[in-house]
Structure 1
């Protein structure tokens, strides 16, 4: 069993340094004050990428493109291109049925898959998951899929969705060779359930901030979460070995 990788969203270079120093494997550039997938200014992303490549070369870096409507496909693809040009490993793009129709979502998934950029579709689960959109994603060369929430006031992803739906999402992603990630107001107390679900990536922001997700990262919370994730995955691996 491979270990779950911790993703932490950061808004600027100072927060990126904190996350990297804590040993976070996946550093996600996002502006929480600008929405669920608020974009960090492009002029900020490039220097952060350069700094992290020099100081923490093993870290992977993602960046969001903003909460763009599904119907504005040209604008979405343009933002994907300029974000990818900053050198990030992943470009995260929201697939939110609150911002467009299912047909627009399918068109966006197909265009993103054909873009040549390292896109990670982020399926926003507030209105449930449409299996036909996952089937469309499975036909594209995405290296990872994420499941997240748009309305952070409704609680965590694990409160909104049953395990069978989450297991199905993870299985569909892995079935086409993609990593599967879960995010959406996740809490450290949910690590036992997350460990049982065993996604490849688990994403956090609010749980490691002072106040809500719009607050600043707290180094002690970051370190505690990184340690808890490491222990949880180690214990799971030991249990699997004992049963083998």
Structure 2
């Protein structure tokens, strides 16, 4: 497992106009046991969060430490990502994240103007280990989260020095980010990310069928997501269940 900064495939400071490559795959896991199961399926990023408590609820700090020790003992493997929670919670936890993690995410809930959003980002960044990159988060259901619309967060993130952004849903009620945004708005967000040289990941209760049909939703390949982030669609039952090997295999085969 890697113990340093993100590998070259993710380290790009900005996108380039080169031909698009196959999308990466992020799977959210809640503990070390799920992480060990996920690595069997060629997952690029392991994202640690507790699905019982919300969109970006963090796992226990002890789990971060277990995962960091496991990563340090290995060689190559998926990059590690951590959900820090929303706003104030994220600020309070940021300095406890081990440096073995490549990425961290802080939810923007309650930050309903640009100054609040930038202030939260700055406070989290100041407390994260130097090696850990903060990924901006936008919610398709921004009114439920009392935060800025995705387009505004994307623009703000690009101007504030971010290289990556995650588009997710705050409420986990069965409606996906694709359902909420619609094809036209999703296409425009992809175009915006491409023009502003942002690597972007699409999450938010997305399904394998929706991702398989991405070429119809976003015809220009350069506007499509660089990464697909999933939890519920690879679990037994819903996102609160455990990872299902058969569903993981189906996703792996579709993406690769």
Q: State how far apart, in whole Å, the 2-side matches of 1:57 and 1:162 are.
A: 38
Q: Which of 43, 46, 51 is the matching residue for 1:27?
A: 46
Q: Which runs of 5+ in 2 are unaligned?
A: 1-19, 144-148, 219-223
Structure 1 position 93, deviation (Å): 1.1
Does the aligned pair in 1 maintain the 2:212–2:254 contact within 8 Å? no
Query: 1:204: which partner in 2?
Result: 230
Query: 2:37: which partner in 1?
Result: 18
* Higher mean displacement: 128-137 or 160-169: 128-137
Q: State how far apart, in whole Å, the 1-side matches of 2:76 and 2:90 are.
A: 29
Q: What is the aligned residue count?
A: 222
Does the aligned pair in 1 maintain the 2:193–2:200 contact within 8 Å? yes
Query: 2:242: which partner in 1?
Result: 216
Q: Does 1:173 align with 2:193?
A: yes
Does the aligned pair in 2 maintain the 1:188–1:225 contact within 8 Å? yes
TM-score, structure 1 normalization:
0.82
SS at match of 2:141: helix
Does the aligned pair in 1 maintain the 2:165–2:200 contact within 8 Å? yes
Q: State how far apart, in whole Å, the 1-side matches of 2:75 and 2:243 are.
A: 19
Q: Which runs of 5+ in 1 are unaligned?
A: 231-244
TM-score, structure 2 normalization:
0.78
Q: State how far apart, in whole Å, the 2-side matches of 1:153 and 1:132 are.
A: 24
Does the aligned pair in 2 maintain the 1:52–1:59 contact within 8 Å? no
Q: Which of 74, 81, 96 is the matching residue for 1:82?
A: 96
Taking structure 1 as reference, are residues 156 and 56 closer, same or farther at Cα in structure 2, changes over 3 Å only? Answer: farther
Which has a greater percent of helix?
1
Instruction: Describe the superposition over 1:93-150 as per-residue Cα deviations: whole angstroms up to 9, x where unpaired.
Output: 1123xx2422422432454566654101111121362533322211223231000001
Query: 1:239: which partner in 2?
Result: none
